C-alpha cells in the first residue's frame, strides 16, 4: 500500500458518483474528461499509477475503442462503457454555450455528474455563469438520505448527499444550522489533525445549542460519523456544492477555518457571493495568503520578515541572490522535473537548479527568499476575537529552520527559548492579529536567531499543530476559537494546569519504506504521513518515547556515522564522544572516520558502495544488507539543492539502503543530538504521572468586547499628512511614497469600516459635492466616504444650481467656499479644476475635468490592482476602448510611471491614445503591443484588462460614434484565452463593451473596484481634511 488517503462519493448513478470522486481527490480535477496529464496513454493503461483514470479519459478522447482499452487494462467492460458514455457526452457539450444549451440537455449533464466548472470549460464560459443558467432553468440538486435500513422501514438518518437524479427532497429545512467544512481527503500536508479541529468545532456548537451541518467526503474521518453533527452531507468541498447546501439549508453561517487549506481556498468566492463566513473576513485571509499584501502589512506594522523577491529571469535571480547572499530558498511557480521548493547554497547550484528543474519567465516567475542558516523555527498557535489575542501557545522545533513544520519535532512548553524571544514573538502575533482583524484561529511560523525574530508565514485558520498544543496544555483552542467566531461567551487565557516537570514532544511518522526511491532527507517540502506525541519529565524523555512510538528501534551496539559538512562534524563531536563513553562500537565513512580518528575517537572505517571485490569487513553495503548496523546517522552536506528524482549520489544510495533494509536512520543534526542525549540518560521508560492527564473544566466568562486598536493607527498616519489642506487636481502631484501612504490609510479605513461601520475622523466637517456632469459612482462614493468618516455632505448638481442663471464657475466656487471644508468638483471643461483651485480657499478635489484627468479614479484603480493581484510591478496592463477621450486611462497611465509594467493599447484607430501620452509611455519603455483588435495573443499576456466605455458625449459626429461603439466587446469567449488569475476592470458605466455573462466570472473586478474606491476616497478625504490648528488655513498645490 502506498496511498495516504481516500475519498468516498455518493450518487444515484455510477457516472454521477465517479465524477464526484475524481473531483474529490484533487480540487484541480474537473471530472472525467480529457486533461493535459504528462503521460504516454498506452504505457499508463498497461502499468497502472495514480494517473490511470486520466489516461482512460485521454484514451477515449483520442478515439480508443472500449475493446482496445479492455485489452490493455482488463477493466470490466461495464465500467468502460459507462466511462465511454461520459467521454462522448463531454464531446457533445463542446458544441453548445450557456445561451444555446437546452434545459433537457443541461439537466442530463447534471444527472451524469458534470460539475458547473466542467461545463464552463466545455462552453468557454465560467462557473458562475453556468450556475446562473442552471438555476434560472430550475435545475437544482435534491437532498437524499442514505437508507440505513435496507428499505425495510422508513429511514430517518441525517446521512445526506446531493443528487440530480431525483424529484424531491427527503427532508425539510428548518434548522438554519451552522455549516462546518471538513478536511477533505487525507494527503501529505493535510491529515487527521484538521478532522479533529472540525469535530471539536461541531461539538462545541452543539453543546451551545446550535444546529450543525458538516460537509466532508472522507470516510476515514470522525466528522463523517453521522452522529457527530445534526446533518452530515457526504459531499465535495467545492464552491458549487457548498453554495448549493448553504442555500438549500438557509444556513446561518459557514465555518471555513477548521478544515485546513481546502475550505480556505474557496473563502473569497463564497464571501463575494454573500455567504456569511463566520470568523475572520475572507478578504483578510486573502491578505495573509497573498505574499505581496502580507509583506506590505508586515512592513506597515513593524514586523520583520526574511528578504524575498519574485523574479522573472535567471539573471535577476542571480543578482538578487548576490545581494542577499547565499543560501536562499527557491520556489518555482512551474516545475519541470519533479523538484520543487529547494534551498540553494551557491550561484553554480542556482543556475543548475533553475535550468534543470524550473521554467523561469514572466509567465512562470520564481520566488527567492533569503534562507537564514542556524535559525530556530518557532510555531505560534493563537486565537483572537475582533483582532485581540485571547489565547496562544508557543512551541519550538528541534530541527533548525529549513525543515517543513509538518516534518518537524515539536516541543511544548518550549525549553530553550530566551524570554526576550518569546516576548517579541507574542508582540508580533498581537500586531498581526490586530492588523488582520482575526476572529478565530491563526498560526504563525517564526524563525529566531540571536533574539532577532522574523515571520515566515501566517495561516488564518487552524493549523496542524492545534490538536497537539491543545492536548498537551489542556486548553482546547478550537473550542475557544469556535466560541469567538459564534460570538459566544468564553474565558480569555484560561488557567493552564500542568505539572512542574512536564514536556510534550510531537514526533513525525514517515513512510519512506513504502515510497520506493524517495530520499529520506528532511527539507522544506513535507514528507511525513503521521505523527505521535508523548510526555516526559524532560524533552529528552518525551522525545525518546515518541521516537519509539513511531517504531524506531534504539541501537544496541553498532552505530554508523556519515557526516558531510565540517560544521556538522564539529557540532556532533560532543555527542559522538558520549556514544564512545557509553560503549557503542562506532563505524564511519571516509571523511568522518579521518576526522574522528584525528580527535582520538576509535572508529572502524567502512567504504561506501565500492566494487564487488571489496572485503566484507570494510563494506558499508554488506554491513547494511546484513543488519550489522543498529543506527545510521547520515548528515548530508548542505551545500547542494535536493536533486531531481533521477539523481543518484552515494549518500542518497546509502540512505535509501538503510530504509530498504529497515536500519534506523537519522538525517538531521539536531535530531541526532537530542537522540544521543536521550540514550545517554538511560530512561526506564516506565509510565509516570506525566503520561496521563486530568484537566479540570474552566467555567465560561461573560463576553467582553475590547475596543479595537485601529483608530489610533489612523490618527497617527493622518498626523503628518502631506496632503492636509492641499488641492488634489492632478495625479502628477503624487510621488510613489505618497501613493503608498494613501493606500496604507485606505487599508486602515477598510479595517475600521469592517470593525465599526463608521469612524469619527471627520466629525463636524462638511464636504461640498459639485457635479456638473452625470455621475453615479463618483458622487455616491464621495458622499458615502464622507459619511463613513463622520462628516456631512452638501450635493449640488448643475440642474439646480445658479449656473442656470448664468453664474460663473469661479463665483460658484467662492460661494461654496463659505459653507464647506472642502469641495469635490466634476466639470466638462478641461480647465475647470485649475480655475476652481485658483479661486478657492478650501481644498479642491478633482472628480473629473473634461477629457483630461480623473485622479481619484486612477488612485482607486491602482489600489484595486494591488488588492486583487498583490502587486503592480511586473504586470501587463491592457487598455481597451476609448483611449482618446478616456480621462481615467490618461490618469492611470501617468500613475503607472512609478511601476515596472508593460502597457498594451487596443482601440479603434479614431479613438487611439493621444500621441503625447503614447510617446511618454514609449520613453519610459512601458509601451507594448498597440492594436485595433483584442487578439487571443494580447489577452494571453494580460494581467489587467482595463475596459472603457466609448463615450457618446465626447463625439461631435454621431455617425462616427455608431461605427465604433461596439467594436471591442469582451465576453466569455474572449476570456477563454486569459490567465486564471488576471482581472477585468472598468470605471463604469458600461454599454456593450463587457458582456453581462462576464459579470459572473471571478476575474470580473469592476464592481469590487467601486468598493475599493470608497476606501481610497475615505483615505484621501481624511488626509486632506483632517483638522489643524487655527491660523493655518491657506491652501496650495502639493
Render 759-820 in DSSP notation, one character per residue.
Answer: --TTTT-EEEEEESS--SHHHHHHHHHHHHTT-EEEEEEGGGSGGGGT--HHHHHHHHTTT-
Helix, strand or coil for residue 337?
A: coil
In a domain, 292, yes or no: no
Count Cβ atoms within 10 A of the Cβ of residue 806 and give its class: 0-12 exposed, 13-18 middle, 19 or more buried: exposed
Domain harbouring 583, CATH code: 3.40.50.1380
Report which of residues 243 and 656 the model is more confident about. 243
Q: What is the mean pLDDT of residues 658-671?
A: 92
Q: Which residues pair with 181 in a beta bridge?
A: 215
Report which of residues 152 and 667 the model is more confident about. 667
In a domain, 507, yes or no: no
In a domain, 625, yes or no: yes
Number of structural domains, the chain?
Answer: 6
Residues 6+ apart with CB under 8 A from 719: none
Find, among 684, 456, 450, the residue nearest to 548 by Cα.
Answer: 684
Distance of CA 168 to the CA centre of its chain: 38
Phi, psi of 275 (to 5 degrees): -75, 135
pLDDT at 710 over 60: no
User: Are 637 and 565 spatial neighbours (Cβ–Cβ below 8 Å)?
Assistant: yes
574 and 445 in a common domain: no
Label residue 85 by pLDDT band (50, 70, 90): very high
Q: What is the mean pLDDT of residues 985-991?
A: 92
Label residue 460 by pLDDT band (50, 70, 90): very high
pLDDT at 695 over 60: no
Domain harbouring 156, CATH code: 3.40.50.20
201 and 87 in a common domain: no
Residues 6+ apart with CB under 8 A from 542: 411, 503, 504, 505, 534, 535, 536
The per-residue pLDDT for 614 is 63
Place of cell 473569497: 268
Q: Which three cell numbers stand for residue 498?
A: 500542568
388 and 357 in a common domain: no
646 and 579 in a common domain: yes
What is the rounded end-to-end Cα distance, in angstroms, of the chain? 70
Tell me how far CA of residue 422 lies from CA of 379, 396, 494, 1035, in angstroms. 11, 11, 19, 49
Q: Which residues pair with 504 in a beta bridge?
A: 412, 535
- At CB < 8 A and 24+ separation, what contacts does 81-89 make? 82/14, 82/15, 82/18, 83/18, 83/32, 83/56, 83/57, 84/60, 85/15, 85/112, 86/15, 86/18, 86/19, 86/32, 86/33, 86/112, 86/113, 87/32, 87/33, 87/34, 87/57, 87/60, 87/61, 89/114
174 and 134 in a common domain: no
277: region left, alpha or beta (phi > 0 left; psi from -120 to 50 alpha): beta
The per-residue pLDDT for 340 is 64
667 and 562 in a common domain: yes
Q: What is the mean pLDDT of residues 886-896?
A: 93
The per-residue pLDDT for 699 is 46
Domain harbouring 879, CATH code: 3.40.50.1370
Last residue of a domain, one of 336, 355, 370: 370
Provide, rounded to the nearest whole percent, the portion of the chain with pLDDT above 90: 66
Place of cell 489612523: 714
547 and 610 in a common domain: yes
133 and 86 in a common domain: yes
1024 and 922 in a common domain: yes
Q: What is the pLDDT of residues 750-802, one digit of tens each?
A: 999 988 899 989 999 999 999 998 888 999 999 999 999 999 999 988 777 78
Q: What is the pLDDT of residues 129-151, one digit of tens each?
A: 999 999 999 999 999 998 888 77
Of 378-382, 588-592, 653-657, where does the model show the most confidence?
Answer: 378-382
In a domain, 435, yes or no: no
Q: Which three cell numbers stand for residue 390?
A: 485571547
What is the set of active-site residues? Answer: 777-778, 805, 826, 854
What mean pLDDT is reported for the chain? 89
Report which of residues 510 and 639 the model is more confident about. 510
In a domain, 1032, yes or no: yes
pLDDT at 819 over 90: yes
In a domain, 686, yes or no: yes
Q: Range of 70's domain?
A: 14-142
Domain harbouring 401, CATH code: 3.30.470.20
The per-residue pLDDT for 609 is 66
pLDDT at 644 over 50: no
The per-residue pLDDT for 773 is 87
Tell me how far CA of residue 925 lies from CA of 160, 264, 413, 900, 982, in angstroms. 59, 39, 56, 9, 22
In a domain, 719, yes or no: yes
633 and 676 in a common domain: yes
What is the rounded distance in angstroms from the CA atom of residue 611 to the CA atom of residue 608? 10
Helix, strand or coil for residue 412?
A: strand
538 and 654 in a common domain: yes
User: Are 218 and 262 spatial neighbours (Cβ–Cβ below 8 Å)?
Assistant: no
Helix, strand or coil for residue 142?
A: strand
590 and 618 in a common domain: yes
What is the rounded distance in angstroms from the CA atom of residue 298 to the CA atom of residue 454? 10
Q: What is the mean pLDDT of residues 687-707?
A: 57
In a domain, 133, yes or no: yes
Place of cell 513535507: 526
Amino acid at each position: 500500500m502506498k496511498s495516504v488517503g481516500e475519498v468516498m462519493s455518493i450518487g444515484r448513478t455510477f457516472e454521477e458518483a465517479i465524477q464526484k470522486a475524481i473531483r474529490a481527490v484533487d480540487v484541480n480535477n474537473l471530472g472525467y474528461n480529457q486533461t493535459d496529464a504528462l503521460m504516454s496513454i498506452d504505457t499508463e493503461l498497461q502499468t497502472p499509477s495514480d494517473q490511470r483514470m486520466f489516461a482512460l479519459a485521454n484514451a477515449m478522447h483520442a478515439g480508443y475503442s472500449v475493446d482496445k482499452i479492455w485489452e490493455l487494462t482488463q477493466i470490466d467492460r461495464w465500467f468502460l462503457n459507462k466511462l465511454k458514455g461520459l467521454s462522448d457526452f463531454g464531446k457533445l457539450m463542446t458544441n453548445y454555450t450557456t445561451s444555446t444549451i437546452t434545459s433537457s440537455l443541461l439537466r442530463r449533464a447534471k444527472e451524469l455528474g458534470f460539475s458547473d466548472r466542467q461545463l464552463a470549460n466545455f462552453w468557454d464560459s465560467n462557473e458562475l455563469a453556468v450556475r446562473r443558467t442552471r438555476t434560472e432553468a430550475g435545475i437544482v440538486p435534491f437532498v437524499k438520505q442514505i437508507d440505513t435500513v435496507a428499505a425495510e422501514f422508513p429511514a430517518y438518518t441525517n446521512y445526506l448527499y446531493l443528487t440530480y437524479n431525483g424529484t424531491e427532497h427527503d427532508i425539510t429545512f428548518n434548522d438554519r444550522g451552522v455549516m462546518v467544512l471538513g478536511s477533505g481527503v487525507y494527503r501529505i500536508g493535510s491529515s487527521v489533525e484538521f478532522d479533529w479541529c472540525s469535530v471539536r468545532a461541531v461539538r462545541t456548537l452543539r453543546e451551545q445549542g446550535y444546529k450543525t451541518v458538516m460537509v466532508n467526503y472522507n470516510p476515514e474521518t470522525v466528522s463523517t460519523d453521522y452522529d457527530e453533527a445534526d446533518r452530515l452531507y457526504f459531499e465535495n468541498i467545492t464552491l458549487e456544492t457548498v453554495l448549493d447546501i448553504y442555500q438549500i439549508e438557509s444556513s446561518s453561517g459557514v465555518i471555513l477555518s477548521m478544515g485546513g487549506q481546502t475550505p480556505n481556498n474557496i473563502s473569497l468566492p463564497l464571501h463575494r457571493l454573500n455567504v456569511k463566513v463566520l470568523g475572520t473576513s475572507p478578504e483578510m485571509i486573502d491578505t495573509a495568503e497573498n505574499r505581496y499584501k502580507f509583506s506590505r502589512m508586515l512592513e506597515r506594522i513593524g514586523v520583520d520578515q526574511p528578504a524575498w523577491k519574485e523574479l522573472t529571469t535567471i539573471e535577476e535571480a542571480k543578482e538578487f541572490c548576490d545581494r542577499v547572499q547565499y543560501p536562499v530558498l527557491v520556489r518555482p511557480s512551474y516545475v519541470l522535473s519533479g523538484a520543487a521548493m529547494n534551498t540553494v547554497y551557491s550561484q553554480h547550484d542556482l543556475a543548475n537548479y533553475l535550468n534543470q528543474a524550473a521554467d523561469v519567465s514572466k509567465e512562470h516567475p520564481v520566488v527567492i527568499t533569503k534562507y537564514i542558516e542556524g535559525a530556530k523555527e518557532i510555531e505560534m498557535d493563537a486565537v483572537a476575537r475582533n483582532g485581540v489575542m485571547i489565547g496562544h501557545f508557543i512551541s519550538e522545533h528541534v530541527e533548525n529552520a529549513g525543515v517543513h513544520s509538518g516534518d518537524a519535532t515539536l516541543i511544548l512548553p518550549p525549553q530553550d527559548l530566551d524570554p526576550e524571544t518569546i516576548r517579541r514573538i507574542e508582540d508580533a502575533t498581537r500586531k498581526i492579529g490586530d492588523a488582520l482583524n482575526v476572529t478565530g484561529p491563526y498560526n504563525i511560523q517564526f524563525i529566531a536567531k540571536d533574539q532577532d525574530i522574523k515571520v515566515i508565514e501566517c495561516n488564518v485558520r487552524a493549523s496542524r499543530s492545534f490538536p497537539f498544543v491543545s492536548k498537551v496544555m489542556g486548553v482546547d483552542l478550537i473550542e475557544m476559537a469556535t466560541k469567538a467566531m459564534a460570538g459566544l461567551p468564553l474565558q480569555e487565557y484560561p488557567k493552564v494546569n500542568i505539572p512542574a516537570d512536564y514536556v510534550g514532544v510531537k514526533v513525525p511518522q514517515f513512510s519512506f519504506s513504502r515510497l520506493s526511491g524517495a530520499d529520506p532527507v528532511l527539507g522544506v517540502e513535507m514528507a511525513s504521513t503521521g505523527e505521535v506525541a508523548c510526555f516526559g519529565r524532560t524533552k529528552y524523555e518525551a522525545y525518546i518515547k515518541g521516537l519509539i512510538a513511531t517504531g524506531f528501534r534504539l541501537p544496541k551496539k553498532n552505530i554508523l556515522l556519515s557526516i558531510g559538512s565540517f560544521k556538522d562534524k564539529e557540532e556532533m563531536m560532543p555527542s559522538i564522544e558520549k556514544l564512545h563513553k557509553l560503549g557503542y562500537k562506532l563505524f564511519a565513512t571516509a571523511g568522518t572516520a579521518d576526522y574522528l580518528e584525528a580527535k582520538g575517537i576509535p572508529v572502524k572505517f567502512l567504504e561506501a558502495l565500492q566494487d564487488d571485490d571489496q572485503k566484507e569487513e570494510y563494506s558499508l553495503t554488506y554491513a547494511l544488507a546484513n543488519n550489522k548496523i543498529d543506527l545510521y546517522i547520515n548528515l548530508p552536506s548542505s551545500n547542494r539543492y535536493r536533486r531531481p528524482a533521477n539523481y543518484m549520489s552515494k549518500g542518497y544510495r546509502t540512505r535509501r539502503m538503510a530504509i530498504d533494509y529497515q536500519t534506523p536512520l537519522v538525517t538531521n543534526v539536531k535530531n541526532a543530538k537530542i537522540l544521543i542525549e536521550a540514550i545517554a540518560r538511560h530512561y526506564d521508560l516506565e509510565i509516570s504521572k506525566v503520561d496521563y492527564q486530568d484537566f479540570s473544566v474552566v467555567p465560561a466568562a461573560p463576553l467582553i468586547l475590547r475596543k479595537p486598536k485601529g483608530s489610533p493607527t489612523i490618527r497617527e498616519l493622518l498626523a503628518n499628512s502631506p496632503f492636509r489642506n492641499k488641492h488634489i487636481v492632478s495625479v502628477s502631484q503624487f510621488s510613489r511614497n505618497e501613493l503608498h501612504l494613501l493606500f496604507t490609510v485606505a487599508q486602515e479605513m477598510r479595517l475600521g469600516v469592517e470593525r465599526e461601520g463608521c469612524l469619527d475622523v471627520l466629525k463636524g466637517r462638511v464636504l461640498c459635492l459639485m457635479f456638473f456632469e452625470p455621475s453615479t459612482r463618483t458622487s455616491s462614493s464621495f458622499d458615502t466616504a464622507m459619511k463613513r468618516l463622520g462628516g456631512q455632505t452638501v450635493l449640488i448638481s448643475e440642474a439646480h444650481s445658479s449656473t442656470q442663471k448664468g453664474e460663473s464657475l469661479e463665483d460658484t466656487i467662492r460661494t461654496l467656499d463659505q459653507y464647506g471644508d472642502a469641495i469635490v468638483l466634476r466639470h466638462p471643461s478641461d480647465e475647470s479644476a485649475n480655475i476652481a483651485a485658483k479661486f478657492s480657499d478650501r481644498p479642491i478635489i478633482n472628480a473629473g475635468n473634461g477629457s483630461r484627468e480623473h485622479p481619484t479614479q486612477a488612485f482607486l484603480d491602482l489600489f484595486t490592482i494591488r488588492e486583487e493581484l498583490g502587486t503592480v510591478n511586473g504586470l501587463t496592463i491592457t487598455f481597451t476602448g476609448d483611449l482618446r477621450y478616456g480621462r481615467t486611462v490618461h490618469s492611470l497611465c501617468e500613475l503607472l510611471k512609478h511601476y515596472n509594467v508593460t502597457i498594451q493599447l487596443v482601440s479603434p484607430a479614431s479613438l487611439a491614445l493621444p500621441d503625447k501620452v503614447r510617446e511618454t509611455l514609449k520613453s519610459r519603455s512601458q509601451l507594448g503591443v498597440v492594436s485595433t483588435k483584442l487578439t487571443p495573443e494580447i489577452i494571453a499576456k494580460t494581467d489587467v484588462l482595463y475596459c472603457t466605455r466609448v463615450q457618446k458625449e465626447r463625439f461631435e459626429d454621431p455617425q462616427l460614434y455608431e461605427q465604433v461603439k461596439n467594436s471591442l466587446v469582451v465576453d466569455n469567449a474572449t476570456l477563454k484565452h486569459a490567465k486564471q488569475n488576471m482581472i477585468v476592470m472598468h470605471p463604469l458605466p458600461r454599454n456593450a463593451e463587457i458582456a453581462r455573462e462576464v459579470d459572473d466570472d471571478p476575474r470580473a473586478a469592476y464592481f469590487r473596484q467601486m468598493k475599493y474606491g470608497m476606501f481610497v476616497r475615505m483615505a484621501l478625504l481624511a488626509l486632506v481634511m483632517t483638522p489643524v490648528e487655527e491660523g493655518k488655513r491657506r491652501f496650495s498645490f502639493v
